[in-house]
Amino acid sequence: MSGVRIRLVRPDEHDRVARLTVDAYGHDYDLPDDYRASLADVPTRAAEHQVWVAEDLRTGELLGTVATPRPGEHISELGRDGELDFRLLAVDPAARRRGIGVLLTEHVVALARQRGLDRVVMNSGPQMTGAHALYQQLGFVRLPDRETRVVHGGTLLAFGYDLAPQTQGARS
């Protein structure tokens, strides 16, 4: 997508990314206080992992974000050896329908390829049906055998995207 770049968050942007993430999730879902606090804790997330932002090059506006582990690490219990797991993909409600979620997901897939990994995995809450549709459109499939974690009364769904040797893109 022209005019948007994906890059690592800067410390002076942590508050903006916190607001964006809470707004994105809160736009569609009721957020328990502990989850809202976790979404807003960008400084800890950035210190422990990699927090990426989608930046509008014309305006400097941050349109979306996603978190990935540092090379050789995992960001969640779902991740296994040979896999890149990601969390907290969020798109500013005002920037939806512009392909930002696709762009961020494709960035994660490209990162996994660069790291020589075999699969990209992620969890998603059962109520996040819009996100599920996006991931499935991009070629992710459910991994029901890995759906064991219950959060706030629901089982987290697991999705995976197998990486073929440089012939398969994130889009079909």
**Full set of structural domains in the chain with CATH:** 4-162 (3.40.630.30)
Nearest partner of 109 among 57, 54, 66, 55, judged by Cα: 66
Length of the chain: 172
Q: Is 122 helix (H, G, I), strand (E, B) or coil?
A: strand
Nearest partner of 1 among 63, 81, 66, judged by Cα: 63
Q: What number is the average pLDDT over the span 69-83? A: 95
Residue 18 corresponds to which amino acid? A
Q: What are the two backbone dihedrals, phi and then psi, of residue 48, each rounded to the nearest 5 degrees?
A: -95, -25
Residue 119 has pLDDT above 90, yes or no: yes
Confidence of residue 53 (pLDDT cuts 50, 70, 90): very high
Confidence of residue 2 (pLDDT cuts 50, 70, 90): confident
Confidence of residue 168 (pLDDT cuts 50, 70, 90): very low
Q: Could you give the CA distance from residue 145 to residue 80 in angstroms, rounded to a whole number?
A: 14
pTM over 0.75: yes
For residue 134, what are the contacts with CB-CB under 8 A and spacing of at least 6? 101, 102, 105
Q: Which residue has the tokens 């075999």?
A: 118
The pLDDT of residue 148 is 76
Q: What is the mean pLDDT of the chain?
A: 90
